[in-house]
Amino acid sequence: MMEMIWEYTYMYFHPLILICCCSLIVYCYILIVCYRRRDALKIKIKTKQDQCRQSLEKFTKLPAPVNRVITRRSKKSEIIDLSLEKLLDKLKAGTYGAKDVLTEYLQKALEVNKEFKCVVEAIKEAEDLAMDCDKMRNSKEQHKRPLHGLPVSLKENYFLKDYDSTAGMSDYIGIPCKEDAVIVQVLKKQGAVPFVRTNIPQTMMTYECSNPIYGQTVNPHDGTKGPGGSSGGEACIIAAKGSLLGFGNDIGGSIRIPCHMCGVCGLKPTYGRLSAKGIFELMSGQTLINATTGPMARDVTSLVIAMEALLCDDMFVLDPTVPPIPFRMEIYEKTNELKIGYYIFDGYLKPVPACKRAVMDAKAILERQGHELVHFEVPDVKDIFTEIYLPIIFGDNAKTLWECLKNDNIDPTIWLAVRSWSLPKFVQWLMSWVVSYIYNDNIVGKGMRSTCKSKNVYDWWKLAERLQKYKKKFLSLWRSHKLDVLICPGFAFPAVPNGAVFNVLGGVTYTALYNLLDYPAGTVPITKVTREDEAGMKEYPTNTRYERFIKKYYSEDTVGLPVGVQCVGLPYQEELVLRVMKMLENENIHHHHD
């Protein structure tokens, strides 16, 4: 009897036992592989962090400046306080040596970094570049170079020979770039000294500024808030006076958002006006909406000096795709009256009182100067954002992003979005309806479904057709008003609490629109949040989840945060955009001094 039971058990349960044992072995193997991969990832990230820290520590005890003119404390602080224009004058005149200026800015950048975590590493070649500048002191060559001896900071995704550009992703650690980005090459030829690299968010597809390699950058005006992104480290270091001039890039607002949130100036040029060759970007496979490179600085004059220096023969030779159009100073310096459009609401998320007031203040400034201001209504923002912009940006169903991140430590600020990309399409589709219900906002659900839009080349072509039709519609409306330029909110709200960007993502319609259109757009600080602005939040709507979070974040603890406006022009009208930015800045500075 027992033999029969054993035989029966063996016959029927033996395969099950075998399957269980095999499954256990496979599970243990996967577990071991995962642990090893995780440990290898930890070592990889730790090694990179150590390299970056050592590059910074090397400069913590720099020798005192050798130029006796600036050994006094008052002179040292004067270097940091000087405008870019005045500092260049003193560098070219030989009043200050390039090495001395570099020393002061390196030490200031390190000091700023301790508090705000905006610098990822120092550029070791900076010292040699500065000494080369000093060797040609008082020579004709020195006066020919428009950026002679000027320290310049660079966003981490700008290629530098023998340096990694990771965009905050560990897959790209240990893959040094083979040559400098074209912009970096031109900067060096024009006498600039790239000296530090600045922080970015993981993937650069958010306006947080946090990643598992370099950590989180905070806003220099309020450490509980973020600096914006993806060029957040750049905006932070410039606002904190750790740099005079920096360079970022922008595919949805990545220059303008952090400039608005940190209170500095930035320009997103038309795509191709400056070379994008040698800039790390995850979305390079799609070419309907392109990331543009641009300068960021403390004031508008610095942006003008940077653009004039970069738009030179060296740029046009190194990258023949850049149209050989020098900076047209005659357009920038014109004094004719302009017809300027304005709006305070783009049709999706209402801006907070401070951002509305900034536009109205700018309107009043321009009207006092004799310009004609006309109201402009943006067509179909909600539709174009979910039906054109997002389907283009995520036209590969976010596969490129997921491939880069699937084996990485994912930053908490983007964890939910990244995990949703890994789900099957039908699950994403179902989730989008649930999220729309939770948010009481069908735009959020449509945004989630946008990653599932393009299924074949035919869909992609139709998407391109819709983009062209919208561009024609917008231009037709612009022409019907006979506009020269347009002003609008820098963003829907000021700086966001750290880690909270996911709760208010809808604000990007204010900036992404001009990436989609490929219009040049610059941001200039206009005002700061007041107690009256906070009090005005009582009237802010709370119909959707985004609106409820906005009301929560901006009803208190925001007084003093910077607020900017955007100035927008037609393609290749960067000079006119900068002119309007300068007109706003001039009267704003005069008003504050009064």
Task: Report the half-sphere exposure of 175 (CA within 13 A, side-chain side).
Answer: 11
What does the pLDDT read at residue 7?
Answer: 58
- Give the pLDDT of the chain (594 residues) as one tens digit per residue: 656 655 555 555 555 555 555 555 655 555 454 455 677 888 999 999 999 988 888 876 655 444 434 444 445 578 999 999 999 999 999 999 999 999 999 999 999 999 999 999 999 999 999 999 999 876 766 667 999 999 999 999 999 999 999 999 999 999 999 999 999 999 999 999 999 999 999 999 999 999 999 999 999 999 999 999 999 999 999 999 999 999 999 999 999 999 999 999 999 999 999 999 999 988 778 999 999 999 999 999 999 999 999 999 999 999 999 999 999 999 999 999 999 999 999 999 999 999 999 999 999 999 999 999 999 999 999 999 999 999 999 888 888 888 889 899 999 999 888 888 778 888 888 888 888 888 888 888 888 887 777 778 999 999 999 999 999 999 999 999 999 999 999 999 999 999 999 999 899 999 999 999 999 999 999 999 999 999 999 999 999 999 999 999 999 999 999 999 999 999 999 999 999 999 999 876 544 434
What does the pLDDT read at residue 117?
Answer: 97
The residues annotated as belonging to the active site are 155, 230, 254
What residues does each domain of the chain span?
49-321, 339-365+482-509+519-594, 381-480
Residue 569 among known ligand-binding residues: no
Asked if residues 276 and 159 have their Cβ atoms less than 8 Å apart, the reply is: no
Compute the distance between CA of residue 204 and CA of residue 210 in angstroms, rounded to an integer: 9
- Closest C-alpha to 287, from 154, 83, 460, 113: 460
Total Cβ atoms within 10 A of residue 6 = 10
In 82-210, which ranges are continuous DSSP H helix? 84-93, 98-116, 126-135, 140-144, 182-189
What does the pLDDT read at residue 594?
Answer: 40
Cα radius of gyration rounded to whole Å, the chain: 26
What does the pLDDT read at residue 67?
Answer: 44
The pTM assigned to this predicted structure is 0.91
Q: What is the residue-wise DSSP string for 231-274?
A: SHHHHHHHHTTS-SEEEEEESSSTTHHHHHHHT-EEEEPPBTTB
Residue 351 neighbours by CB under 8 Å, 6+ apart: 344, 345, 489, 491, 492, 493, 510
Residue 204 among known ligand-binding residues: yes
Residue 228 among known ligand-binding residues: no
Residue 230 among known ligand-binding residues: yes
What does the pLDDT read at residue 138?
Answer: 67
As assigned by CATH, the class of the 49-321 domain is alpha beta
Asked if residues 485 and 566 have their Cβ atoms less than 8 Å apart, the reply is: no
Task: Report the half-sphere exposure of 70 (CA within 13 A, side-chain side).
Answer: 23
Asked if residues 591 and 528 have their Cβ atoms less than 8 Å apart, the reply is: no
Burial of 591 per CB tally in 10 Å (0-12, 13-18, 19+): exposed
Residue 307 among known ligand-binding residues: no
